[in-house]
Each structure stands twice: as structure tokens, then as C-alpha cells.
Amino acid sequence: MGAEIITILKKDFISLFYSRQAYFLIVIYLVLSMVATFFGGGYFQIDNTSLSSFFIYQPELFMIISPALAMRLWADERRYGTLELLLTQPVRPLSVVLGKFFAAWSFCLLLLALTFPLWKTTSFYIKTDDFHITINYVCCLLVAGFFCGISCCISSFCSGLISAYILSVFFCVVIKQMNLDYLFKQFGISGDILQKIAQSINFDAHYYHILQGQLGINNIMFFGVSIIVFLWFNTIAVDYKRG
């Protein structure tokens, strides 16, 4: 199964660079990251030992970048008519789903790696907390995986590139902003268990918890389990598409 995943990952990762979309996304991501860091995050105004001005807006950026990556993975197979070919190869649907997901996630890793010069430049001027920054990068990678998972899942249900992108962004925004705790209070629903559930699936709570340097097993579990759930839905979608 591992070999199948690597084969599909390699092919799909290279395919991203074929249409020049990858280069476009790299430029967009780096420009927006720097704008968000220097203007939105207040790079020169706040204490940047953990590079928080850079990490603060990363979820918003990956919310628009990940769907752009994932929309091609499944929609292109349909556009070129290769989905039928792929589904009749002796590979498990799960291997195809994982191969495509890891291709998108690897690209996000590349994007994050391209921002290392900011870290190095900052550490040249001030004493940075490198351990904290490393944790923040890991957190960002998990966030990127989270949004890639949602986007791959949505893309597998859609037949057009544009609809896949718009729906993916919509679901990424809804899931990120979902605050059940607030909703429960608005509807007068109370209870300790409900409150705990609401807090445990609150994206922002987990992300900002990690940004404060408090990476816990529950935070990793939240992102890990979410990715697994989205990929499971993705596998169901592929089976459903078989008709």
C-alpha cells in the first residue's frame, strides 16, 4: 500500500507544477504571507520571539490555498477522463485518496519551507525562541493538512474546478469559524458535556492554544482525527462515484 501511495503522490505532486498553477500559488502565498506578517500581524510592533506575527494569519491563508491545490487533484482526473483508468488499476481507493492528499500536503510543506528565510532573518536581529517557532511550524502544517483534507473531500464530490474551489473554501470557513459553544448559549442549550464537546472541536481554540506555546496531545488529536475523518469521507466519495 505504501508503494502505491508514493507512486500517486509523486505523480500528482509533479502534476501540480505542470500547469504553472503551483508557481502562481507559491507567489500568491508568499506575497500574502508577507503582507499579513508585516501589516496585519504588526511585525515591527510586537514581540516576535515566536514569530507570532507570521503565524497569526496562516489558517486564513491556507483556507484559500489548500482548496486551490486540492480542486485539481480529483476534478482534473474527471476533466481528462483518467478517473475511469485510475479506478480500474489494481490500487485500493484509500491509496489513491492518501496519495492525492499527501501530494497536496507536501506542497503545503514546500510553501512553509519557503518562509524559513523570514525566521532566519528575524533570528539575525533578535533572539528567537526556535523551539516555539518549530512547534508553530508543525502546527501550521497540521492546519494545512486539515484544510487539504476538507478540500480533497469536497473536490472528490464536485465535477468542476470552480465549484470544487468555492465549495471547499466555504466549508473551510464554516468549519474554522464554527463555534458550537456560542450557538449552544444562543439557543439556551446547556450542559457540561455539551460544552466540553463544543470546546474540543473548536478550531480557533486549538490553533491559538498551540501558538501560545502550549502544544498538547488534545490539539494534535483534534487535527489528526479531523484529517482522518475527512479522508474517510473522501474514500466514501470515491466509492460513491464508482456508481
Partner 1 sequence: MLVVKNLSKSFGAVKALDNINFCLKKGEITALLGPNGAGKTTLLRLLTGVYTPDCGEVTLNGYNISTEPQQALHQFSYVPESGSLYPELTVFEYLQYIAQLHRLTHQDFVDSLVFLMKQLDLGDVINQKTETLSKGYRRRVGIAGALLSGPAILILDEPTEGLDPNQKFSLRHFLKEYSKDRIVIISTHIMEEVAATANRVILLNKGKLIRDTFPEELKKISPDNDLEQAFRKITE
81 binds partner 1 (CB under 8 A): yes
Q: Check binding of 185 to partner 1 (CB under 8 A).
A: no
Q: 3 vs 217, which CB is nearer to partner 1?
A: 3
Q: Which of 31, 35, 40, 92 binds partner 1 (CB under 8 A)?
A: 92
Contacting residue, 24, 89, 159, 216, with partner 1 by CB under 8 A:
89
Question: Which member of 82, 134, 159, 212 binds partner 1 (CB under 8 A)?
Answer: 82
Shortest gap between Cβ of 70 and partner 1 (angstroms)? Answer: 17
Determine which residue in the list 44, 80, 124, 187 makes contact with partner 1, applying CB under 8 A: 80
Give least dist CB 90 to partner 1, A.
4
Q: Determine the Cα–Cα distance for residues 231 and 226; give it in Å rounded to an integer.
A: 9
Residue 156's closest CA among 94, 105, 224?
A: 94
Among 84, 182, 194, 216, binds partner 1 (CB under 8 A): 84
| 3 scored as a contact of partner 1 (CB under 8 A) | yes
Residue of 91, 138, 161, 236 that binds partner 1 (CB under 8 A): 91
Per-residue three-class SS string for the chain: CHHHHHHHHHHHHHHHHHCCHHHHHHHHHHHHHHHHHHHHCCCCCCCCCCCHHHHCCHHHHHHHHHHHHHHHHHHHHHHCCCHHHHHCCCCCHHHHHHHHHHHHHHHHHHHHHCCHHHHHHHHHHCCCCHHHHHHHHHHHHHHHHHHHHHHHHHHHHCCCHHHHHHHHHHHHHHHHHCCHHHHHHHCCCCCHHHHHHHHHCCHHHHHHHHHCCCCCHHHHHHHHHHHHHHHHHHHHHHHHHCC
**C-beta of 77: minimal distance to partner 1 in Å?**
9
Among 87, 94, 205, 220, interactor with partner 1 by CB under 8 A: 87
Draw the binding track, 16-35, toward partner 1 (x: CB under 8 A; -: no contact): --xx----------------
Least distance in angstroms from the C-beta of 84 to partner 1: 5
